[in-house]
Amino acid sequence: MNTIDMSILTHFRKVAIAAVSVIGLSLTRSTLAVSHLSATVESKPNGDSQQLLAQKPTREAVDTDSTTTIGGETVTTTTATTVKREKSGFTLYIWQPGGTISEVIARVSIKDKHGNRFNKERFLGDYKYKIKQKAKFVNGLKLGDRIVVRLYDTQNRLIGYTEFACLPCHTAVNLILSANPIQYQVVRVFYGVDHNEDSIVDRDATISYDYFTRLNNQKVTFLETSENIKITQYQAAGFSNVAKTSVYPVSFREGDFALVGKSISTVDSNLAKAITALPGTLVQLTQLSNNPTYQLSQLLSKYRSIGVAKGIQVTFSDISKDYWAKDYIAELAAMEIIEGFPDGTFRPNAPVTRAQLATLLQKTFIKSKIRPAIAFRDIPKGYWAEDAIRGTYEMGFFTILDLDRKNFNPTQKLTRLDVLITLAKGLNYKFTGSIKDILSIYNDASSIKSEHRNFIAAITENGVVVNFPNIKLLNGKKVATRAEVCALLYRAMVSAGEAADFPSKYTIEPVKPDMTGDRRR
């Protein structure tokens, strides 16, 4: 008890977890509760497919009914208003009330949440903590992401393992070690919402959790109760009392990714190299400074080559380290949304067809169906992209190019304008202010047709547009390349709060009014 100084205790008393909510992560906000997650479908590459992998759902939707005319027939459709996922972040404290350990190593990784599944675990660094130190992780984390923490002593012995889920807004996380973690490898985890980001669970937090994990021979068990725990070493002045029954998020107790009462392995042959290597051997340890803050985007980029699961290729022989779209391509590859070719290339300048874009859209976005499917006459049964074309059309992407024959034209190469309009319509982007002012950033704005100006203004204001090599030129008539499509898709994910932002000098920043009413970029 005497290892906790009074200055920390003064703040930590705020953490008392008196009334613990068991609200599930997926039901935390009403806007999230109304989202519709469709079944995931794996498209089988064939023909002009671009080595595209499994679907990854990423967006939520709120629906409103309307009517439209398709092929002369009036049908009821639904407009999907996309809702941003709630951004999050976390502060990680490590404590030991009843022991004498001075330093530990925290290996931090992330299981990025997309819809109703997770991407493969990804390494975010090894951090050398002094007991009672904290570190903040921000930018790109979001509601429902799972953070994995493996704890080692300074002799590289694994002494603890746990996972927690990012909450709405910021999350304050406390890991409490036993008095002798070498022999008693049980970790207490309690965390909750930290709206003001003072690294302390809010006094009136409606979402907070408290549970234990036990490590044994590289297997960890998420304990259902504290009945057999030596709880005195986890309690001290300033800490809440240990509840008899552990309190977990619903997603930890129910569903395909439940952990409560289960024993899982802390090692896996498919894990990233950086996760399976001993601390300090492959990656240099990061010694915490005074209350440091780490940006997720920087960590993803820094450890990308050794931080993704085995079998996932994120570097390509024809993508240089300073290539303008490198981060966008690499991140989509890490998410298994897109991949390269067997010869190790990505072919960034290759064109993209309507069928290929449909497959990418299906893998990137999950939205409810807003209109009935159409039996396109030029999509034969068994066509490699049949499911993706049907599914993305039902979600509101694409228009019919030939109403009389209801053709989709799957092999038609897309222009940049085609891709921008498809995203703007399908994701229902909105804008505020003057279209003329928003589009004034483009030197070729006069070439944008009147029927497209609303859509281009909306997608511009939402920060999705990337113009390479000249940021001032939209180049709508230019054939869209694989690199450009990756950039636009990734920027759409950033706009939705679904991905970490990688700044680029080719990204259009929305025009905003200054205090005098003038427009400034």
State yes or no: pLDDT of 44 exceeds 80: no
Task: State whether 79 and 91 are in the same domain.
Answer: no
Model confidence over 447-476: pLDDT tens digits?
999 999 999 999 999 999 999 999 999 999
State yes or no: pLDDT of 74 exceeds 70: no
Task: State whether 398 and 451 are in the same domain.
Answer: yes
Q: Please state, in angstroms and rounded to a whole number, the distance separating the CA atoms of residues 130 and 84.
A: 37
User: What pLDDT band is residue 77 in, cutting at 50, 70 and 90?
Assistant: very low
Model confidence over 190-209: pLDDT tens digits?
999 999 899 888 888 788 89
Mean pLDDT value of segment 11-34 = 31
Domain final position from 306, 323, 352: 306
Mean pLDDT value of segment 136-147 = 94
What does pTM read for this prediction? 0.82
313 domain-assigned: no
Tokens of 491: 């920027």
What is the number of structural domains in the chain?
A: 2
Model confidence over 149-159: pLDDT tens digits?
999 999 999 99
- Note the pLDDT of residue 79: 41
Mean pLDDT value of segment 146-170 = 96
State yes or no: pLDDT of 409 exceeds 50: yes
User: What pLDDT band is residue 67 in, cutting at 50, 70 and 90?
Assistant: very low
Task: State whether 145 and 219 are in the same domain.
Answer: yes
Judge residue 31's burial from the number of C-beta atoms within 10 Å of its C-beta, 0-12 exposed, 13-18 middle, 19 or more buried.
middle
Model confidence over 257-290: pLDDT tens digits?
999 999 999 999 999 999 999 999 999 999 999 9
Q: Which of 29-38, 233-242, 356-365 has the lowest mean pLDDT?
A: 29-38
Q: Which of 2-16, 85-99, 169-183 has the lowest mean pLDDT?
A: 2-16
Task: State whether 50 and 180 are in the same domain.
Answer: no
Q: Please state, in angstroms and rounded to a whole number, the distance separating the CA atoms of residues 85 and 219.
A: 33
State yes or no: pLDDT of 337 exceeds 80: yes
Task: State whether 69 and 93 are in the same domain.
Answer: no
**Neighbour count for residue 428 (Cβ, 10 Å):** 17
- Note the pLDDT of residue 236: 67
- Note the pLDDT of residue 512: 57
Task: State whether 237 and 205 are in the same domain.
Answer: yes
486 domain-assigned: yes
Domain final position from 256, 288, 306: 306
Q: Give the distance, in angstroms, between the CA of residue 98 and the centroid of all CA atoms in the same chain.
A: 37
- Note the pLDDT of residue 85: 58
63 domain-assigned: yes
459 domain-assigned: yes
Residue 387 φ/ψ, nearest 5 degrees? -65, -40
State yes or no: pLDDT of 434 exceeds 60: yes
Mean pLDDT value of segment 62-85 = 42
- Domain hosting 59: range is 40-84+337-520
- pLDDT: is 204 or 338 the higher one? 338
Q: Which of 140-154, 225-239, 383-397, 415-429 has the lowest mean pLDDT?
A: 225-239
- Note the pLDDT of residue 13: 36
- Note the pLDDT of residue 69: 39
Task: State whether 61 and 116 are in the same domain.
Answer: no
Strands (E) across 96-237 are located at 103-111, 113-114, 117-118, 122-130, 134-138, 146-152, 158-165, 169-176, 186-193, 208-216, 219-222
Burial profile 140-158: b = 16 or more Cβ within 10 angstroms, e = fewer: bbbbbbbbbbbbbbeeeeb
- Note the pLDDT of residue 237: 54
Task: State whether 113 and 61 are in the same domain.
Answer: no
30 domain-assigned: no
- Note the pLDDT of residue 34: 22
Task: State whether 59 and 192 are in the same domain.
Answer: no
Task: State whether 361 and 218 are in the same domain.
Answer: no
187 within 8 A of 160, measured Cβ to Cβ: yes
9 domain-assigned: no
Q: Give the distance, in angstroms, between the CA of residue 278 and the centroid of all CA atoms in the same chain.
A: 27
Task: State whether 239 and 97 are in the same domain.
Answer: yes
113 domain-assigned: yes
Question: Over the chain, what is the mean pLDDT?
Answer: 83
- Virtual CA dihedral for 133, 107, 330, 269, nearest 10 degrees? -170
Task: State whether 79 and 92 are in the same domain.
Answer: no
351 domain-assigned: yes
State yes or no: pLDDT of 14 exceeds 60: no
